[in-house]
Amino acid sequence: MSEKKLAIIATKGTLDWGYPPFILASTASALGYEVEIFFTFYGLQLLKKKMDVSVSPLGNPGMPMPMAMDKWFPVLGTAIPGMQSMMTMMMKNKMKSKGVASLEELRELCVEAEVRIIACQMTVDLFDLDPKAFIDGVEFGGAALFFEFAGEADISLFM
Amino acid sequence: MADFDQELDASGLNCPLPILRAKKALAGMTAGQVLHIIATDPGAVKDFEAFAKQTGNELMESKEEGGKFVFLMKKN
């Protein structure tokens, strides 16, 4: 079986949006794909050793909330201080109780499976991010580096 | 129930963990050996079929047993 290739661009740095790239990359690796993820803009948050990501009910009308709050709670109420951290904590607890892996665990599985991880050099500079804060094994590069791999990929996904 | 060489209890784990754990277990086995997998994630049924099809490992058995999903996967 010749090795298929999956290229992913990960642009979001929230708890919920962190899942698709790591789930698909780790699963594709298990299926024998060679995988590369290009992390850019807010997606770079997912590469920090100490991952600190949240999920927000603000501007997120599709997010189910406890006690059916999404049905009766005023939208502006989701902007109350502390709401985001409370929702993040509740989401993490729910995920744990349902046997959903943590982002850190899925990321570790990707690293183990030798998923190639590229951090967008331009965004790292733009946001003055510290490369030392990232997990080991991260490569730094630009759009051309992504296309070198994506040009040969069977599947390319933007997230 | 057919014989198996190794067992993986993926009960309580959700997508994609059962597949990833199975892949890891199979990596440590030799060709022809059989892995017995137990899962509670209903999505695992279709996922293990797809996993077998794409990796060439043989899904010898897939059934529901007392609310759990049980699989026998032969390493290729």
Flag whether pLDDT at A90 surpasses 60.
yes
Residue A87, SS3 per DSSP? helix
* Cis bond upstream, residue A74 (ω within 30): no
Mean of pLDDT over chain A:
93
Domains of chain A: 5-158 (3.40.1260.10)
Its pTM stands at 0.89
Mean pLDDT for the stretch of residues A32-55: 96
Question: Which is higher by pLDDT, A1 or B76?
Answer: B76
Residue A69, SS3 per DSSP? helix
Q: How far is A130 from chain B (nearest CA, A)?
A: 31
The answer, for B15 touching chain A at a CB cutoff of 8 Å, is yes
Percent of chain A at pLDDT > 90 equals: 81
A77 near A83, Cβ under 8 Å? yes
Percent of chain A at pLDDT > 70 equals: 99
Phi, psi for A68 (deg, rounded to 5): 50, 35
> Which residues are CB-neighbours of B12 under 8 A, at least 6 positions away?
A99, B40
Which residues in chain A are closer than 8 Å to B56, comparing Cβ atoms?
1
Q: What is the DSSP letter of A3?
A: P
Examine residue B69 and state whether it is found in any structural domain, yes or no: yes
Residue for token digits 């050099």? A121
Examine residue B56 and state whether it is found in any structural domain, yes or no: yes
Active site residues of B: 15
Q: How far is A31 from chain B (nearest CA, A)?
A: 6
The answer, for A27 touching chain B at a CB cutoff of 8 Å, is yes
Of residues B36, B74, B46, the one with CA closest to residue B58 = B74
Of residues A22, A27, A32, A13, the one with CA closest to residue A127 = A13
**C-beta atoms of B55 and A31 within 8 A:** yes
Q: How many CB atoms lie within 10 A of CB A27?
A: 25
The answer, for A86 touching chain B at a CB cutoff of 8 Å, is no
Q: Which residue of A has its CA nearest to B57?
A: A31
Which residues in chain B are closer than 8 Å to A23, comparing Cβ atoms?
15-16
Number of domains into which chain B is organized: 1
Q: For residue A65, what pLDDT is reported?
A: 83
- Report pLDDT digits (tens) over A49-81: 999 999 988 888 888 888 888 888 888 888 888
Mean pLDDT for the stretch of residues A9-27: 97
Residue A101, SS3 per DSSP? coil
ipTM score here?
A: 0.84
Examine residue B1 and state whether it is found in any structural domain, yes or no: no
Which CATH number covers residue B40? 3.30.110.40
pLDDT < 50 regions, chain B: none
**C-beta atoms of A32 and B54 within 8 A:** yes
Interface A-B: count of C-beta contacts within 8 A: 33
Q: Give the separation between CA B31 and CA A2, rounded to whole angstroms.
A: 19
Segments forming the whole domain that contains residue B55: 6-74
Q: Give the separation between CA A4 and CA A31, rounded to whole angstroms.
A: 9
Helix ranges (DSSP H) in chain A: 15-30, 69-72, 83-97, 103-112, 121-126, 143-150
* Mutation site for A-interface testing, chosen from B8, B23, B51 by largest number of A Cβ within 10 Å: B23
Examine residue B58 and state whether it is found in any structural domain, yes or no: yes
Q: How far is B76 from chain A (nearest CA, A)?
A: 12
Of B13, B19, B51, the CB nearest to A99: B13
